[in-house]
Chains A and B, each alone.
Chain A
Amino acid sequence: MADDGAARQLDKEILSPKPGIQSPAEGGGDFQPRIVGFLCNWCSYAGADLAGVTRLKMPPSMVAIRVMCSSRVDPLFVLKAFLAGADGVLVAGCHPGDCHYQTGNYYTRRRFALTLKVLEELGLEANRVRLSWVSASEGGRFAEVVTEFTETIRKAGPNPAKTEVFL
């Protein structure tokens, strides 16, 4: 890709978790976050399967929704998930350059940047959403992403949209 440098910069910005608003009162304890994970069929879903095949342990927080490509994840799905009470939303696809459909994940990346902006506008912490690239052979990475993201959400506490109207 010609825009590799710029793309990497963008990756850095949107892939690294931002310090979010933490609600210590609600965090920790028995809180078991509910996370929806949109996983692309060819890489991340296969990576999640591999995590299972190699018997890697993960918190039960994340329930996967299989899409053929991460580019199927409309930013509205993410918003919809929050309105339906998700504490966190994970979008995972093939590494840049490896999308089964050639360029799908480049669109995912741009749409994700947009999603972040919208969430900020709505006053929802940006660290409740995450975009990760996980290949079919990265079962270990998948388990790490889920474990780490669950921890982040546990610290952030339950989704305030459940109780506060923010639309």
Chain B
Amino acid sequence: MAKIGLYLCECGPNIADAIDLDRVAAEIEKDGKVAGIERHKLFCSADGKKFLAESIKKNGFERFVIAACSPKQHEGTFAEVASDVGLNPQMFQLVNIREQCAWTVPDKEQATGKALRFIRAAVTRVQYHQALEQKEIDCNPDVFVIGGGIAGIEVALRTAHKGRKVFLAEKGELGGMLKERGLLFPAMEPAGDFLGPRIDALRNNPQIELFENCKVKEVLGFFGSFVALLETQEGKEIELKAGSVVLATGAQAFNPKELAEYGYGKLDGVYTADEIEKRGVGKLLTESAKPVKSVAVIHCVGRDKLGYCSKMCCVNSMKIARQIREQSAETEVVELYRDLCLPGKGYDRFYKETEAKGVKFARFESVEVTGGDSGLTVKYKQPGGTGAELAVDMVVLSTGLAANPSNPELADMLSISVDESGFFVEEHAVLNPVSTMTEGVFIAGCARGPGDTRDTIVQASATAGKVLSSLVPGKRLQLETRTSEVSEKLCVGCGTCVTVCAYGATTLDESRHIAVVNEVLCRGCGNCASACPSGAAKHRHFTTRQLNQEVTEILK
């Protein structure tokens, strides 16, 4: 029998206070299955790892069990120690006596009992562990960007700048929502001033291949080796290969047609912010049939319908309001807002400047726009319930941003999800905000959720950084080690495993009438092993034998 060492981590007071480690050590020693037991205050610290490595070497342990925290926390840490001392990284078992024992069982006696069951199961299991080979493949460092708004452009330029080959597919023209903007808050600079040069840089960069007016039909493959199929307007198909995919499909201004209370599309003089910017504020004022003496800008249009605050529309409303005041000093502008959302740096100042330009602010709870011969009437309820009314010549509806309708289709292709509003879901909303659940698939800009240009650029930079650091040219890609394999002897060629595998990793070898697993595609879920009627499919490191041994020991 292999020489097994047991390590008990105190985790400061976290484990030591909740579990009687002396008793654990005494009982396990009595079992006589381990060759040595050692303790440390913090095994994951530099000192702890060094202690562990030296102890394994000194004692000549061939396998070890470490009772500490969750494998989700430190399995990788101790696998590294195992590798460092020349053991195969599968040759240990981390037992979770912290999260799933010390922290949930208040009674020390009971916690100690549970820890013992856990540890005994691990001591048994580790004897059945098998060394696995870490396989590597060449990876493709090229980048495939979907969406040619500012987010996609930025990712493309930044990654191409570092020498990557970039493919950028845009379903229409480049520029996204910014291409129809005039001035941008908060600096009030023309959007074209920085979008134009960026688009030129994109077109002139030999590293970047642009596919405008193209539809993404399919994306297959995996991190390091994706294959995408595009279709041009003329129906021509183009295939391209890349190692990572960036979703920069942006968002779109919400269309308030379906909301009857604003009279949009029915009443003359009611415009959306988006529309006003597309036509130009000055033009609208001068071309209007009768002079525009008063304007109401209504905030939060579509917020309830969308189910979220879009973060950029309050400031955008002010941008329009102050432009009106600047171009026509006699025009009165009232902003009707529900809450003022000023999340960005300098936005509070922007608000004060807007007020200083004579823009009035009034708070509302509900609002209705009606029309008559003399003009438009905006009836609104103030906080507290009293009603108020404004007679105006023009109404500007400040709408939020709605998700891009093609997101669900792309999410399906890439095995990620969209949230209830249709934006792509991040790998972790706080800790991994630009990666997704599929390795090698990233998000940038409004595809992730509404935001302004600055948010978009910050994210695009982060995404570019992630892309550059995750696939380094020349570096080989490490494959999942805990994959499945099929025993040629036992397989009856029934094809069940082929049906259940979500990754197309198993196929039937027609000539030999057996299933084969493609280790590059296999993600190691183990579904095929449960499905196989003959026991031929085996899930490495989670074999039936290993799991049965674990179960039996736990129940002893």
| Interface set of A (CB-CB < 8 Å, partner B) | 34, 36, 41, 45-46, 48-49, 51-53, 55-60, 63-69, 71-77, 80-81, 84-86, 97-98, 100-104, 107, 111, 143
Sort A-B residue pairs by CB-CB distance and give the 8 closest, nearest first.
Answer: A72-B526, A52-B99, A52-B103, A71-B527, A101-B525, A69-B525, A102-B502, A74-B530
**B547 pairs with A104, CB closer than 8 A:** no
Q: Is B462 an interface residue when CB atoms closer than 8 A count as contact?
A: no
* A45-B72, A67-B542 known; A104 vs B525 contact (CB < 8 Å): yes
**A56 pairs with B551, CB closer than 8 A:** no
Chain B residues contacting A100 (CB-CB under 8 Å) are: 437, 525
Bound-state CA distance A139–B555 (Å) is 25
Q: Is B338 an interface residue when CB atoms closer than 8 A count as contact?
A: no
**Chain A residue, CB-CB nearest to B112:** A60
Q: Is B118 an interface residue when CB atoms closer than 8 A count as contact?
A: yes
Bound-state CA distance A60–B111 (Å) is 7
Q: Is B164 an interface residue when CB atoms closer than 8 A count as contact?
A: no
**B551 pairs with A65, CB closer than 8 A:** yes
* A41-B72, A72-B539, A77-B547 known; A52 vs B100 contact (CB < 8 Å): yes
**B104 pairs with A71, CB closer than 8 A:** no
Bound-state CA distance A104–B114 (Å) is 30
Chain A residues contacting B470 (CB-CB under 8 Å) are: none
Bound-state CA distance A73–B554 (Å) is 16
Q: Which of B474-505 contact A (CB under 8 A)?
A: 482, 500, 502-503
**A84 pairs with B551, CB closer than 8 A:** yes
26 A-B pairs whose Cβ atoms sit less than 8 Å apart in the complex: A36-B554, A41-B72, A49-B72, A49-B100, A52-B99, A52-B103, A55-B104, A56-B104, A60-B113, A64-B96, A65-B121, A65-B547, A65-B550, A65-B551, A66-B71, A67-B526, A68-B482, A68-B539, A69-B527, A71-B500, A72-B527, A76-B544, A80-B551, A98-B417, A100-B437, A100-B525
Bound-state CA distance A75–B107 (Å) is 33
Residue of A34, A48, A66, A67 with highest tally of chain B CB at under 10 A: A66
* A45-B72, A52-B99 known; A68 vs B525 contact (CB < 8 Å): yes
**A51 pairs with B104, CB closer than 8 A:** yes
**A107 pairs with B531, CB closer than 8 A:** yes
Residue of B104, B113, B542, B552 with highest tally of chain A CB at under 10 A: B104
Q: How far is the CB of B186 from chain A (nearest CB, A)?
A: 35
Bound-state CA distance A73–B548 (Å) is 11
| Interface set of B (CB-CB < 8 Å, partner A) | 70-73, 96, 98-107, 110-111, 113-114, 117-118, 121, 415, 417, 437, 482, 500, 502-503, 523-527, 529-531, 539, 542, 544, 547-548, 550-552, 554-555
Q: How far is the CB of A143 from chain B (nearest CB, A)?
A: 7
Q: How far is the CB of B109 from chain A (nearest CB, A)?
A: 9
**Chain B residue, CB-CB nearest to A74:** B530
**B527 pairs with A101, CB closer than 8 A:** yes
**A57 pairs with B106, CB closer than 8 A:** yes
Bound-state CA distance A107–B117 (Å) is 30
Q: How far is the CB of A60 from chain B (nearest CB, A)?
A: 4
**A77 pairs with B551, CB closer than 8 A:** yes
Q: How far is the CB of A67 from chain B (nearest CB, A)?
A: 6
**Chain B residue, CB-CB nearest to A75:** B530
Q: Report which of B98, B530, B555 forms a contact with A72, defined as CB distance below 8 A.
A: B530
Chain A residues contacting B102 (CB-CB under 8 Å) are: 52
Taking A68-B524, A100-B525 as known contacts, 20 extra A-B pairs with beta carbons closer than 8 A to each other, sorted by chain A number, are A49-B73, A49-B99, A52-B100, A58-B105, A60-B104, A60-B105, A60-B111, A63-B114, A63-B554, A65-B121, A67-B526, A71-B527, A72-B525, A80-B551, A81-B555, A84-B551, A84-B552, A97-B417, A103-B502, A104-B502
Q: Report which of A36, A57, A98 forms a contact with B551, defined as CB distance below 8 A.
A: A36
Q: Report which of A41, A77, A143 forms a contact with B104, defined as CB distance below 8 A.
A: A143
Q: How far is the CB of A65 from chain B (nearest CB, A)?
A: 6
* A51-B104, A101-B523 known; A65 vs B554 contact (CB < 8 Å): yes
Q: How far is the CB of B44 from chain A (nearest CB, A)?
A: 15
Bound-state CA distance A98–B500 (Å) is 16
Chain A residues contacting B525 (CB-CB under 8 Å) are: 68-69, 71-72, 100-101, 104
Chain A residues contacting B523 (CB-CB under 8 Å) are: 101
**A64 pairs with B551, CB closer than 8 A:** no
Chain B residues contacting A53 (CB-CB under 8 Å) are: 99, 103
**B70 pairs with A49, CB closer than 8 A:** yes
* A60-B113, A60-B114 known; A71 vs B530 contact (CB < 8 Å): yes
Chain B residues contacting A64 (CB-CB under 8 Å) are: 96, 100
Residue of B98, B106, B542 with highest tally of chain A CB at under 10 A: B542
* A65-B551, A77-B551 known; A48 vs B99 contact (CB < 8 Å): yes
Bound-state CA distance A59–B106 (Å) is 9
Bound-state CA distance A61–B340 (Å) is 52
**B437 pairs with A69, CB closer than 8 A:** no
* A60-B110, A80-B551 known; A111 vs B530 contact (CB < 8 Å): yes
**A81 pairs with B500, CB closer than 8 A:** no
